[in-house]
Amino acid sequence: MPVDLSLYLVTDSTPAILKGRDLCTVVESALQGGVTVVQYRDKTSDTSVLVETARKLHQVTTKYNVPLLINDRVDVALAIGAEGVHLGQDDMNFQEAKKLLPENAIIGISTSSVEEAKKATADGADYIGIGTMFATPTKTNTKSVIGTAGTQVILDAIKDSAIGTVSIGGINHSNVQRVLYQSQSPKKALDGVAIVSAIVGADDPKASAEKFAELIRNPPRFA
C-alpha cells in the first residue's frame, strides 16, 4: 500500500462547511493534526480555479510529506503533478486514467457495491472508497447508504486482495471506532476513514484531526 489511508481528509469548498475560511489554511491545520492523505474535492469551481487551488494545496501537502489526490479530474492532477486521483463510477475509467498518469500515481475508486469493489480490485486500483457509510448532508445524491453491515460484505468480497480500503460518509468522533470495528470482516479490515465536514467544518480542524488520530490509534473496545 503506497499511501497511509488511516486519516483521509476530503476537502469541501462550500460555504456551509468552509465558512469563509481559506481552504489551504484549514488543510494545513488538519495536516498539523495528523491527516495522512488529502483529496481535493471541488464540484463547483471552474478549471482555472481548480488548477490554481490544487497547486497551492500541493505546496502545503508536500511540506507535510502527505500525498494530494484530485477528485474527478485527471487533467488537473497532471497539470500540477499531484500524487494521484480519486475517481467515481461516472468519471474517467481506471484504464484510461492509468494510461495518462505517471506509473507511480495513486488511483482510488469510489465503490458502493460488491460488484464495483471487485471491479476496482481486478483493475488494480490502489484503494477503494467504500460508501456511503451513513447518510450525510455533505453529499445527498449518494446511490446508497450501506452502513457497517454493507461495508463488511464488501470487505469480505475482496478479502484476498491487498487493495486499500477507506470508508466515507457521516463519520465523526462519536462513531469512528464503531465504523472501524463493526465493518471488519474476519480477513479484511478498513485501512482508514475519509472525513469531510467533521474536520473541514470543525471550528478547530487541527484539534479535530488530532482527536480522530487518537481514536484511530486506540483499538475500539466493543462487546
Which cell numbers in the block locate residue 171? 463519520
Instruction: Determine contact, residues 178/148, Cβ cutoff 8 Å.
Output: yes
Contacts to ligand TZP from residues 175-194, by CB under 6 A? none
Name residue 184's amino acid.
Answer: Q
Query: Using the rule CB under 6 A, is 23 a contact of ligand TZP?
Result: no
Alpha-carbon distance of 200 to 127, in angstroms, equals 22
Query: Using the rule CB under 6 A, is 195 a contact of ligand TZP?
Result: yes
- 106 to 135: interface string for ligand TZP, x by CB under 6 A: -------------------------xx---
Rule CB under 5 A: which residues touch Mg ion?
72, 88, 91
Alpha-carbon distance of 160 to 158, in angstroms, equals 6
DSSP helix/strand/coil, 152: helix
Residue 6 or 142 having the CB closest to ligand TZP: 142
Task: Please compute, for residue 157, the number of CA atoms within 13 A of its CA located in the half-sphere on the CB side.
Answer: 20
As measured in angstroms, the least distance from the Cβ of 134 to ligand TZP is 7
Query: Using the rule CB under 6 A, is 87 a contact of ligand TZP?
Result: no
Contact positions vs ligand TZP (CB under 6 A): 10, 131-132, 136, 138-139, 142, 168-171, 195-198
